Structures are given as C-alpha cells and as structure tokens.
Amino acid sequence: MARSCPSPLQPAMLLGAPSFPNAIAWSDDNLIAVASGHLVTILRPDLPVGGPRGVIKIVPSQPLCVGLVERQDLLSGCLLPTALYRDDKPVVRSISWSPLGMAANSGCLIAVCTSEGHVKIYRPPFCDYCAEWIEVLWT
C-alpha cells in the first residue's frame, strides 16, 4: 500500500459561511480572503493553525433617516399602520485583490463591495501582530 505525503495545506476555521458567489478570492501574495456576513477573514494557506492573518469588519455607514411625524398626526387616525425594516448590518457581497505591489509593503490591497453599494479598499496592517486591516479608500 502506497503511503501518501501529508499536504502542506491544513483546514482553517472561519467565523461564518460564505454566502455570495464572489466571497472567496486568492491574492498574488498568497493570501486567501473569505467574506462571510459582515466580516472578511484573511488566511495564509500555509499557516492556518495560527489563526487568521487578518480580519475586516464592515460597519454601517449612516443610520436610516425615515422622516418625522408630528405628534398631533399620531392620534388623528389618518396614518396607516406601517412597519419599516432595514437590516442595519451591511454584508460583504464581493471581494477582489489588487495586483502585487499596490500596497505600501509591496503586497496586495483588497477591495470589498458591500450590500450598501459601497466599495472600500483595505491595506494590510504594518505590524504582524495586528489583525485588523486598515481602510484606505471609501466610495
């Protein structure tokens, strides 16, 4: 019976399951980004045991403004009962890596498209001990 060689790639734990088609992307500098909900987890496929290489948290940009209702109109009986709902937690719909050399450390930047319709560009942290990536552009 032939003995198989152990794979240099190991499984890694994610904080959530990917939910969109473009939720996984591999960069030219050997990082894998996985979008799940409002988080992007950045992994190194050769070192999954040490945890994620980075995390990007997407936070809501502005609260929903629905307008004002005058106090006397509340009791007049002419308002229809309405229920407004807005999911205030944006989710990541798509991610894409830049070519190698675009970041200050000659690495890759990552573009994150949110359900709010914004595109945010992030760079890796300067310190290897910091997991939070830094936002450099918001559109």
> Domains in the chain: how many in total?
1
Residue 28 forms part of a structural domain: yes
Residue 16 forms part of a structural domain: no
Contact 98, 110 (CB under 8 A): yes
Residue 99 forms part of a structural domain: yes
Per-residue pLDDT of the chain (139 residues; tens, 9 = 90+): 555 555 555 566 677 778 788 899 999 988 999 999 888 988 887 765 666 778 888 887 665 556 666 777 767 777 666 655 555 678 899 999 999 999 887 889 999 999 888 899 999 887 766 778 889 987 7
Sign of torsion over alpha carbons 69, 75, 80, 82? positive
Q: Taking the model in full, what pTM does it have?
A: 0.70
Give the structural domain span for 120: 24-58+87-138
Contact 49, 10 (CB under 8 A): yes
